[in-house]
Structure 1
Amino acid sequence: MTDKDLLIPASQVDALAINSRTRRGRIQMFMLLLACAAPVIASYLAYYVFKLEGGKTNLGTLVYPAQELNTAWLDTPMKGKWTLLIARPAGECQIKDEKCIEALFLMRQVRVAMGRESQRVQLIWVNTDGKPVDAEVLAAYDEKAAGFKVVLPPTDPKLKEAFDLWLNKEGAGQQIQLIDPSPAKMMYFPVTNSPKEFSSMKKDLEKLLKLNHKGESL
């Protein structure tokens, strides 16, 4: 102990030690929170980076703040994956129903267009009425043929109410919704058959996948 230390009252030394530990604890807590939030932060940084580079070609509408998805809502793994999600009643989704088929076709083609990165993207169809999927539709858009997982909405009334609110927030219920690996809804896209808009949607997803690998578990 130095002469200088001897001039400091013991009570002040204890206070300094406590303050030092408190600061370290706060820093550690901040770093932990930052690590947990990294996937969402990275998603938004990626979006803003490429938006500045080519905003005129983007199709997606950014969801801010991101809308967290409760993994208890759907009986399929969502955390650690990029997901394109659509919600449609199977009873109304027939081969001749252009609106429904256009949505499924667009999702399938965008995923195919990702090339080697396509395995990082899963396609989820929430069958909102629980009826059997039309055989022709299933043959073209099942998991084996097109990568689609057909899942049911929650059966528990409280979970279903919460899921429906999340799904339809900002009027996005009929849109194609992009879920990041955290998982949270961060963007949604209109259903379109325009080649130009298809290209814009592809670029949105392409650049996100290129710039962000955080939180993924393939």
Structure 2
Amino acid sequence: MSGSKSSDPAAAEAPRHAAPADEPLGLVVHSLPSPGDVVVRQRATGRIKMLLVLAVCAAPVIASYFTFYVVRPTGTAYGTLVSPLAMPALEGRTLAGAPQALRGLAGQWLLVAVDSGACAAACEKRLFMQRQLREMTGRERDRIDKLWLVVDDAPVTPALRQALEATPGMNILRLPREAVAAWLKPAPGQALEDHLYIVDPHGQWMMRQPVDADPAKVKRDIERLLRASAGWDQPGRQALIGAAAAAADPAMGPASRP
């Protein structure tokens, strides 16, 4: 038609279908980690794994300490729990006169009796209960020692001495009464000699049993303490002493140990 602007539809659609211009392929290259960075990451990972392993291993120990020193079942204990009081640095003497440091007896649970060397009937009864309590714990008895603190110069009868020295885990030590009384405390109105005292493997006095205690109830207290400390306390001090003695003198029996 004259005067009208003509258009070519094919020409109008051409730009839409034109092939895109070729573009260069872009590549992004990441730098490789340096050997030093790899070593640092490996060390950090190794430390984390090591800390996790230590945490798992330490959990039972931490739990037992928490149970023993924090929870402390005062409502169910037969004896009286006391704030742990460390062994003093005292030097005593065995019945044979040899010097012996009190702290050298740490490392085991200790059932402690205190009395005169004359040891009247009540004293003998307490020493017998010591022996029975240790044996009543069965296979746990190697974690327990007995200690008789003789607080005067009175001689021990030969028969009693022989009987005590022949029993496993028995220790007899002479110490001044006033020095022992500064560490172990009787109940109000009672004498130092009236009780059986329990000392933990760290050398801390932590429980006092009643006067004329019931052995079955004392045994339950001891069993609770042994269970609570099972994660960190292991038998061995007497075993090590016996092994060392046997190595030095194979003919040396348990009764010959100091």
TM-score normalised per structure 1: 0.63
* Structure 1 match to 2:107: 80
What 5-or-longer segments of structure 2 have no aligned partner? Answer: 1-57, 93-99, 237-258
- 1:181 and 1:216 in contact (8 A); partners too: no
The runs of at least 4 consecutive aligned structure 1 residues that moved more than 6 Å come to none
Q: Which amino acid aligns with 1:113?
A: M
* Structure 1 match to 2:222: 205
Shift of 1:191: 4.3
Shift of 1:167: 2.3
How far apart, in 2, do the equivalents of 1:120 and 1:207 lie? 13
* Structure 2 match to 1:89: 116
Backbone CA RMSD of aligned residues: 3.1
How far apart, in 2, do the equivalents of 1:107 and 1:179 lie? 13
* Structure 2 match to 1:62: 81
Q: What's the secondary structure of 1:202's corresponding residue?
A: helix
Q: Which amino acid aligns with 1:61?
A: T
What 5-or-longer segments of structure 1 have no aligned partner? Answer: 1-34, 155-159
Instruction: Pick the structure with more helix per residue.
Output: 1
Q: Which amino acid aligns with 1:90?
A: G
How far apart, in 1, do the equivalents of 2:133 and 2:64 lie? 22
* Structure 1 match to 2:249: none
Shift of 1:108: 0.8
Higher Rg of the two aligned structures? 2
Q: Which amino acid aligns with 1:147?
A: G
- Pairing partner for 1:192 from 197, 203, 212: 212
* Structure 2 match to 1:143: 165
Shift of 1:145: 2.5
Q: Which amino acid aligns with 2:207?
A: M
* Structure 1 match to 2:127: 104
- 2:144 and 2:169 in contact (8 A); partners too: no
Give the aligned length.
Answer: 164
- Per-residue Cα deviation, 1:104-143 (whole angstroms, up to 9, x for no partner): 1111110110111111101010111133211222233x23
* Structure 2 match to 1:181: 201
How far apart, in 1, do the equivalents of 2:169 and 2:233 lie? 21
Higher relative contact order, chain-length normalized (CA < 8 Å, sep 6+): 1
CA spacing shift, 1:202–1:47, aligned 2, 3 Å: farther
TM-score normalised per structure 2: 0.54
Work out the percentage of aligned pairs sharing the same amino acid. Answer: 28
Q: What's the secondary structure of 2:192's corresponding residue?
A: coil
- 1:177 and 1:185 in contact (8 A); partners too: yes
* Structure 2 match to 1:45: 67
